[in-house]
Structure 1
Amino acid sequence: MKRTFLMTALLLVLAASAQAQTVWHDPMQEPECVLNGRGWNQETGNSNYCRLPDRLEQTVPPAVWRLSRHTPGVSLRFQTNARRLWVRYLTYFPGKSLPNVVSLCHSGIDLYATDVNGHTSWVPNMMRYDMSVNKSDTVQFYFDTHELPDFRGQGITYELYLPTYNGVKWLAVGTDATASFRFVEGSRERPIVVYGTSIAHGASASRPGLIWSTRLKRRYECPVVNLGFSGNGRMEHALFDALAEIDARAYLIDCVPNSAELSAREYEERLRYGIARLRSASQAPIVLAEGQFIDHPSALVHSAAYHQQMQKDTIQRRVVDELKGQGVKGLYYVTRADLGFTADDFIEGVHLDDVGMMKYEHAYARVLDQALVGPDTMRHYTPCTQRRDGYDWMGRHNSIIRRNHGAAPEVLMIGNSITHYWGGEPAGTVVNGGKTWDRLFKGHRVTNMGMGWDRVENTFWRLAHGELEGCSPRDICLMIGTNNGEPAPQVVSGILDIAALIRRHQPQARLHIIGILPKGGQEEAVRRLNALLAQSVVQDGMTFYHDFSSALTLPDGSGRLDPSCFLPDRLHPNERGYGRLAKHFRRILFR
């Protein structure tokens, strides 16, 4: 008996000790809002987790306002080297499930992990969650992350998706007391905006990360704002007015199922208003989808609803074709055939299971690949983010976006750490040639778009994700490739893919492709790569190739680097080296 009592006491002490050693991190205590997936993030800030700002309560239907308390697609990003994670939160509404929405999707959370090389994977919770801690509205999830790769102790970047059919009043992430932790922002490029019904809202995926809009977010690695309102995607004017406030990359309108009971005249009027309102505010692509009924005789079991949707599909297609004929640009269409649903894609004939959600994602992706991506692809690399150098890569990416939108730069300097550590704005934590930069660019507006440890696939990603928008520079310098170790033809193809991306987005700018600078012990390999690059660049009066290697090599003609121009790593120039490079940049940019 005494032994049992002692063991019980010991276990209680250990449990209390473990709880005491857990540090809880509240995102709402951050100085800047770190939520993702909301269209009015700056306005709402840290006041709540909801999808619509408070001022819209007076203009949108009451049911829409109530559903805007739900958080489908809303997420948090954080970086930590913790090997165990806890998430606690208080739900907005007491119910934790619906007859057709399981609790994990309704009120649960979902976690994804991205390593320093930009590779993302799902983090399973292995059923270690409690949807009602002590029979309350508090929910707790536990994630064991000790097997995830940790590069140089920099930890992992996580994205936590919030409940789909519930909201959050407060939330905290728990880590061991010794772990590093910080909330980080996602990409602040323009979002894809989804407006629709319960299908867009998330019914009936098995978990938050599998609703089709969130699948699109991971597919394109760009922000997605989910404005699906279950049973209430009826295209009221107030909703299109709200959508028009968002500077979107694309608008996806998926409201046919909830509009079935509208009269033909009322539906057409709302549709025409919505398209006109969005087009008056933005030239972003507008994608409209037909209803998701099974295109099969089995659908006639509910023929009335089927024919109501078919009527609205017919009106929608006629209006879109008519507007295209009148010269309205950027209208796209997803048909029922594109969706290709079968009975296996539904849970009860109305809402989609995970397979149906995947088909929805694929159908929209086929259109968005045409509307947004086009030829902006790489032949031999997969564009991705990275975080190998310890600084806030995504934060710098967002700083570049903000600067290019606000500073009207004349020159963009794109590259890796050799550009990053030179100087200028956005300022880096390491500056090896600041005086030289200041002299070279005095009186000129220049954005330093260098990123330490960038490879060609990382530079392509960020240029395709907003860094080339909002500005019209006169000159763009591209110096990238030194961190890629693949065969020279593959690296050259990556550089040319970036050049083509720049040309498509900034056709008015002179593009200067700079050969890779010499590296200690690799001078001959760099020389051969540059020779291939020089042969491959088509110089057409707007695109130029330059080799500045001679500025940093010995004058004896050996091609070996001049150690007086480099830091001890024999890769990064020092102030003297940057001074020599500046003479060449001044010649091509300002003479």
Structure 2
Amino acid sequence: MRFKITCLFALLIVWCNNSYAQTPKIVYQDASKFHLYGKAFHTPQPYHRVDTARYSDLPIAVKRLLTHSAGLAVVFKTNSKTISAKWCVTNSKALNNLTPIAQKGLDLYIKKDGKWQFAGVGRPTDICSEFTLVKAMDNAEKECMLFLPLYDELKSLAIGIDEGSNIVALANPFKKRIVIYGSSIVHGASAGRPGMAYPAILSRNTGLYFMNIGISGNAKMEKAAAKMISDIEADAFVLDCVPNPSPKQIKERTEDFVKTIRANHTKAPIILIQSIFREQGNFDLDVRERVSQQNEEITAAFNRLRNAGVKDLYLITSEKLLGDDHDASTDGIHPNDLGFYRMAEGLAPQLTQIFNQYQIK
């Protein structure tokens, strides 16, 4: 009996050692050496969207929000069966209308049959986190795109693969350069994960390079913001900022904002988008009236600009962008994943029709 127990114990040790040996060690590489999709400018800190030191007149809140990595994604190729990540963010407080994954986590897509497909997320556990995004894959080479946190400053990021596997830079998989300047809705509130913000969906579905310049609550078309946007080298400019400024600010600022962009980009199309319907306005008459006035003012400004001879200017109205079942928002203000999907589906054909006129495809 004692001999049998000893043999069983020995077999268990061998089995455990073999199982351990079959689990590859994860090795990490600094993600900053790979191509970073979504950047409008080179920045000293790789995961900032804008080097705000260049724009001293920007409001402090705008500068802070532009340190967020919203819309940015690391792209790479690997034959690893496992993809992990280590990353550090700040100790900013949790936001009550965002998931932790959207605010401070990661979102991995892998190309399959020519299309980008969701593969896994990095769940934040602390200021610095380590998480396995996907495992037990085959060892074929895979094109990967890792979306970064929407609502926090990313301090560092390393991508982990199985020891002995390869990981190399993937060239920019998108064409042209299109700026989307806008509110928290552009920024990504309240997507469930970073890749579900509608500019990211538009990129994956159209193959075009959308740069997310969402500035939550603060896309108010200030002169300094106009200068910053006009400095971006881009083929087109989409202004989805109507939800933030007051009707009075829209009336006073839109024309100067558009003309500042046009002065630096004489032929690029500039597309204004009305505010989406705020679901709070189903019953809150004040909210309903404010959105109505905002959309009236942006439409009036569009007409004044067109009458003044500003060309290559377009207006997209907001009817039905969220559907008509009133279930496409998280908090009555910001879209949920269903809402963002519907926005992208509604905007893509309209934007594509405009872009095709300018060979932006």
Give the TM interval when normalised to the shorter protein.
Answer: 0.7 to 0.9
CA distance in 2 between counterparts of 1:269 and 1:299 reads 25
- State the match for 2:96 in structure 1: 99
Matched, 1:131 2:133: no
- Give yes or no for contact 2:322–2:339 (8 Å, CA) kept in 1: no
Q: Is the 8 A contact 2:278 2:333 kept in 1?
A: no
Find the counterpart in structure 2 of residue 229 from structure 1. 215
Selected match of 1:113 from 110, 115, 132: 110
What code does the residue aligned with 1:122 have?
Answer: F
- C-alpha spacing 1:242/1:254, structure 2 compared with 1 (3 Å): same
When residues 57 and 278 of structure 1 are mapped into structure 2, their CA distance, relative to the original with a 3 A threshold, is closer
Alpha carbons 2:242, 2:295 under 8 Å: kept: yes
Cα 1:236–1:14 shift into 2, 3 Å: farther
Matches of residues 276-287 of structure 1 in structure 2 within 5 Å?
Answer: 276-282=259-265, 283-287=267-271
* Residue of structure 1 equivalent to 2:28: 24
Once the two structures are superposed, the pairs formed by residues 136-215 of structure 1 within 5 Å of their partners are 136-144=127-135, 146-147=137-138, 150=140, 155-187=141-173, 189-215=175-201
Higher strand fraction (1 or 2)? 2
Which structure has the highest helix share of the two? 1
Name the structure 1 match of 2:272.
288
CA distance in 1, matches of 2:357, 2:320: 19
Q: Report the Cα distance in structure 2 between the residues aligned to 1:109 and 1:300, rounded to whole angstroms.
A: 34
Once the two structures are superposed, residues 276-314 of structure 1 have per-residue CA deviations (whole angstroms, 9 ceiling, x without a partner) of: 01111112111111122258xx72522223222222211
Which residue identity is paired with 1:299? G
Q: Is the 8 A contact 1:27 1:183 kept in 2?
A: no
Larger radius of gyration: 1
- CA pair 293-188 structure 1, distance change in 2 beyond 3 A: closer
The share of aligned pairs that are identical, in percent, is 26
Q: Does the 8 A contact of 1:89 with 1:140 survive in 2?
A: no
Query: 2: distance between equivalents of 1:8 and 1:166?
Result: 45
2:332 to 344, 349, 360: 349
Distance 1:173 1:324, change over 3 A: same
Aligned to 1:449: none
Residue 175 of structure 1 and its aligned partner are, at CA, apart by 0.9
3-state SS of paired residue (1:363): helix
Aligned partner of 1:81 in structure 2 is 79
TM-score by length of structure 1 reads: 0.55
In structure 2, the partner of 1:239 is 225
Partner of 2:41: 40
Corresponding residue number in structure 1 for 2:297: 315
- Residue in 2 that maps onto 1:536: none
Higher RCO by CA contacts (8 Å cutoff, separation 6 or greater): 2
CA positional deviation for 1:275? 0.6
Structure 1: 5+ residue stretches without partners: 377-463, 466-591
* TM-score, scaled relative to structure 2: 0.87
Note if 1:366 corresponds to 2:349: yes
Where structure 2 has 5 or more consecutive residues not aligned to the other structure, the ranges are 1-5
Q: 1:187 to 1:84 in 2, by over 3 A?
A: closer
The corresponding residue for 2:3 is none
Moved more, 200-209 or 7-16: 7-16
Q: Would the aligned equivalents of 1:195 and 1:226 in 2 still touch at CA under 8 Å?
A: yes
Q: Is contact 1:82-1:145 (8 Å) kept?
A: no
- Alpha-carbon deviation of 1:25? 1.0
Matched to 2:203, the amino acid is K
CA deviation vs aligned residue, 1:456-510 (integer Å, no higher than 9, x gap):
xxxxxxxx65xxxxxxxxxxxxxxxxxxxxxxxxxxxxxxxxxxxxxxxxxxxxx
| Maintained 8 Å contact 2:107/2:148 | yes
Amino acid at match of 1:107: K
The CA distance in 1 between the partners of 2:123 and 2:345, in whole Å, is 33
Q: How many residues align?
A: 354
Separation of aligned partners in 2, 1:183 and 1:58? 34
Amino acid corresponding to residue 100 of structure 1 in structure 2: N
Question: Match of 1:138, as an amino acid?
Answer: S
The SS at the match of 1:248 is coil
2: CA distance, partners of 1:304 / 1:60:
30
Deviation at 1:267, TM superposition (A): 2.6
- Retained in 2: the 8 A contact 1:190–1:247? no
- Residues 187, 146 of structure 1: CA spacing in aligned structure 2 closer, same or farther, 3 A cutoff? closer
| C-alpha displacement of 1:79 | 0.7
Q: Is the 8 A contact 2:89 2:127 kept in 1?
A: no
Pairing of 1:439-518 with structure 2 (within 5 A): none
Cα distance in 1 for residues equivalent to 2:188 and 2:83: 26
